[in-house]
Amino acid sequence: MGLFGLFSKAKKESLDQGLAKTKESVFQKLSRAVVGKSKVDDEVLDNLEEVLITSDVGVDTTLKIIRRIEERVDRDKYLGVSELNRILKEEIAALLEENNTVDVSDFELPQSNEPYVIMVVGVNGVGKTTTIGKLAYNFKKAGKKVILGAADTFRAAAIDQLEVWAKRVDVPIVRQDMGSDPASVAFDTLKSAKAQGADVVIIDTAGRLHNKINLMNELSKIKKVMQKVVPGAPDEVLLVLDGSTGQNAFEQAKQFTLATEVTALALTKLDGTAKGGVVIGISDQFKIPVKYIGIGEKMEDLQIFNRVEFVDSLFS
């Protein structure tokens, strides 16, 4: 059945639509890069380098991709420019695989007697709460029992927004008043999840990057307190980044990976931007798998990232 079989036609169409702006931009630049050329030579590779860098893939990752293509040119002696798209697809998919990006087909969870705990981090404004809401919707749709924890207690708006999503998706939420201890919210959420036999717990946290020491202390305290209830929690630390900010998303990833261990990435708002290449660069630079991508407003538009499909949507 292969990876394509796992990925429904409707999902692939949404992905194609969501990445249309990036694809169009990359496609135009690629056409210009090979104009008047029949084979891949140094000039084509120089042009390709520029195409990838200006598509927000990032300099280091671009150089890796170019190196891989140079090796293929050396090996195959003659590479026609008509084959460039296919080779780009293969090499970028292989590069993403090296960053532990494993293609899972759906909102599945490892078998466990304990709830699967996702701690969500990210600055305000990147679509963190929306991502949590959509995650809850998709896990619930997959037959999982979900509970949310509002541990971003610094902003009343954050607690209220999460509550709105909990009502929309119809899942329970554990919250306290603004200003209360985030770790105590996380503790209560996990206690409640165990009592209710929940499968998934999603904890929202405050994204105040300007004070990194505070952030580090707070996140490690939340982790310690959660481990009293569920040993080994959290199972996943999910960093949410706004894909439409391109290089800015790189900077945020850098800051958050210094503040806490991040195990998975969600890149949002890819539908409104030509900067979709950022997905490739961030995953490669930080060696953290991209797990979810946001490609539209609808609940289903938060997709499980599938590297083969993603690259196929960009370069075909």
> Binding site: what residues are annotated?
122-129, 204-208, 268-271
Question: Are 127 and 268 a contacting pair, CB within 8 Å?
Answer: yes
Task: Find all residues with CB under 8 Å of 235, minimum gap 6, and list them.
Answer: 110, 116, 117, 118
Cα(219)–Cα(183) distance, rounded to whole angstroms?
8
Task: Find all residues with CB under 8 Å of 225, minimum gap 6, and list them.
Answer: 183, 184, 186, 187
Q: Roughly what angle, to the nearest 10 degrees, separates helices 84-98 and 307-314?
A: 150
119 φ/ψ angles, rounded to the nearest 5 degrees: -100, 125
Residue among 11, 37, 65 nearest 277 (CA): 65
> Parallel, antiparallel, or unpaired: how do β-strands 200-205 and 173-174 relate?
unpaired
**Binding site for GTP: which residues?**
122-129, 204-208, 268-271
Cα(30)–Cα(48) distance, rounded to whole angstroms?
7
Radius of gyration of the chain (CA): 21
Using the structure block, give the residue that is written with the tokens 């798998």.
289
> Cα–Cα distances in Å, from 255 out to 268, 275, 300?
18, 20, 30
Q: Which two tokens stand for residue 13?
A: 């169409």
